[in-house]
Amino acid sequence: MSRPTNFGAGPSALPESVLHQAARGLLDFNNTGIGIAEISHRSKEFTAFLADTENLIRTQLDIPQTHSVLFTQGGGSAQFSAVVLNLLARHRLLHPDRTNAERAMDYVITGSWSKKAAEEARRLGGGTVNVAVDARAYSKDGRSFDGIPTHDTYTFSPDPALIYYCENETVDGVEFSNDATSAASFPFHLLPKDTLLPLVGDHSSSFMSRPIPHLAEHAVIYAGAQKNIGPAGLTILIVRKDCLVDVDAAAKLGAVPVPLTMAYKTLADSASVYNTPAVLPIYIAGLVLKRSQELGGVKYYEEVNKRKAAKLYAVIKEGEAKGVVRAKVKEGSGSLMNVVFDVLGDGAEAKFISGAEALGMKAIKGHRYGSVGGIRVSLYNAVTEEQTDALIAYMKEFLAQ
Ligand code: PMP
């Protein structure tokens, strides 16, 4: 029996072949006779698997030795706090005499997730949040996140404790372009000149979907696994080594204390097994990443994902010309991963959703927050081009009716 297509935003579709492999691993992990959910995280078989998984990420993203790859838990939300705590501790060690007002944390706000991250930074204190740009100020209605602001709208602090952005806004469907010539690219050239820039990127919903521009210039890149690479419960961090700081030494100088499970140095010093890691999610992510490497890695996915999204945006445009649908995001800022639009007319949205479900296409209802709503189609790596084409064929039929 064929499974329905899952266009959900996360947790989301995983490759079917991997699910079959994982099911076998639940009974017998790598011929140990012990299931993956039962085996010790300190066993040589699991630690070897963890090292291989790290290498799969390193090779595909071309991560230099200046950066550590770490595995943790707590999702993207725990990183909203952890990046602030670790980078404020680092800033404290570098500049012990500054006041909290002199510890700027620059937030680039392009959607619901970066907004939430900035709110957490404000809550934690220890520094001062500076909104480098808020995309709503440049939106069509003055209150929605409907595009990436142009480069002239950003203001960065001269020597901040951190600079934060979210590469792909999962709820709002807005994504930085990774083409440097695009007006919707991230303004890397405007950042303060610093060889150890405290640049933080939330890549949760675009991780492993394409190469990461300027990766080596980042202090921290993080991603929850539950979009492109595995189940929820695993968070992957890429941390530049100067950000693996002694948080207790920083606390002695007045920095906000950092729980050890959140301290990047603890994770790095223990090779991500300070405490029990998310063994099963790591296993599934490892299988997904091995498959993705065999297919050609992030470059392969970038091509396929671009084609999938381009076709979907084209049919949305067709629908706009007919007055049946409306794109929510400005042209050029649309996400390759989460495509959001409205179906216009009384009851039309419900009809669109139920028609899709009848054809086995699930989870296309937009985010529950009232401000967004509408339709959201997520085209993560595991959603194939054929599945995308089937949705497009259905949309064309819907438009014709
Ligand atoms: N950042 C982004 C871009 C996300 O899409 C999400 C979750 N969808 C989060 C952060 C929060 O992640 P979590 O639910 O794993 O805490």
315-359 residue pLDDT tens: 999 999 999 999 999 999 999 999 999 999 999 999 999 999 999
Query: So what's the pLDDT on residue 370?
Result: 52
Residue with tokens 């010539």: 181
Residue 352 falls inside a structural domain: yes
**Mean pLDDT to the nearest integer, 137-163:** 97
Chain-centre distance for alpha carbon 237: 11
Q: How many CB atoms lie within 10 A of CB 87?
A: 28
Out of 81, 112, 113, mutate this one to test ligand 1's pocket (max ligand atoms within 8 Å of CB): namely 113
Q: How many CB atoms lie within 10 A of CB 52?
A: 12
Ligand 1, residue 169: give the atom nearest the CA.
3
* 159-182 confidence digits (pLDDT tens): 999 999 999 999 999 999 999 999
Does 371 have pLDDT greater than 60?
no
Bond prior to 4 in cis (omega within 30° of 0): no
**Residues known to be catalytic:** 113, 202, 227
What percent of the chain shows pLDDT beyond 70? 99
CATH number of the domain residue 389 falls in: 3.90.1150.10
* 247-258 confidence digits (pLDDT tens): 999 999 999 999
Q: Are residues 263 and 333 in the same domain?
A: no
Residues 6 or more apart whose Cβ sits within 8 Å of residue 146: 135, 139, 140, 172, 174, 328, 329, 330, 333
Q: Are residues 116 and 55 in the same domain?
A: yes
Last residue within a domain, chosen from 294, 318, 333: 294
Phi, psi of 28 (to 5 degrees): -155, 105
168 closest CA partner among 108, 87, 84: 108
Q: Which residues form ligand 1's pocket by a CB distance below 6 Å? A: 10, 75-77, 113, 166, 170, 202, 204-205, 224
Residue 312 falls inside a structural domain: yes
Q: Are residues 116 and 137 in the same domain?
A: yes
Out of 116, 165, 205, mutate this one to test ligand 1's pocket (max ligand atoms within 8 Å of CB): namely 205
**Mean pLDDT to the nearest integer, 144-158:** 97
Give the burial class of 107: count Cβ atoms within 10 A of its Cβ; 0-12 exposed, 13-18 middle, 19 or more buried.
buried
Q: Are residues 247 and 337 in the same domain?
A: no
Residue 19 falls inside a structural domain: no
pLDDT band at 372 (very low <50, low <70, confident <90, very high): low
Query: So what's the pLDDT on residue 367?
Result: 77
Residue 196 falls inside a structural domain: yes
Domain count, the chain: 2
Alpha carbon of 72 to ligand 1 centroid (Å): 14
Does 27 have pLDDT greater than 90?
yes
* 4: DSSP letter: P
* 83-111 confidence digits (pLDDT tens): 999 999 999 999 999 999 999 999 999 99
Reported ipTM: the value is 0.99
Does 366 have pLDDT greater than 90?
no
Range of the domain at 160: 25-294
